[in-house]
Amino acid sequence: MAQDRIARTAQPRREVPGIDPAVARLSEMLVAVLSELTVTRERLDTVERLIEQNGLFKQTEIESFQPSPEAETARTGIRKRQIQRAMRPLLDDTERDVKNAKAAKS
């Protein structure tokens, strides 16, 4: 599966001297979001082509679709996981900063 090839947290191939760590983290986040979007867009393109090829339903049916409560719950879970993955570099930095601040007080 393509997802298995994507790192859990995007990492730069090598550190660039003089780059602000915050900019590096934002770049990592952007790469993570872009990789997720690319995989999703490719899969959506495949599904749309198969739907059209097989005459399964019309584009207007896609536009007017209302998910069931169960489907909405599943979508919410997907959304949360994607946000957590994209925000992971900032969370890692925050956790490290809190740990360092606690160590400095000791």
For residue 7, pLDDT beyond 60:
no
Question: Where do the domains of the chain lie?
Answer: 2-12+19-105
- Residues 7 and 104: their CA atoms lie apart, in Å, by 32
Q: Give DSSP secondary structure letters for 20-33.
A: -HHHHHHHHHHHHH
Reported as a single tens digit per residue, the pLDDT across 43-88 is 999 998 899 899 998 878 888 999 999 999 999 999 999 888 878 8
pTM of the model: 0.52
CB half-sphere exposure, 83, CA atoms < 13 A: 6
Are residues 89 and 21 in contact, defined by beta-carbon separation less than 8 angstroms?
A: no
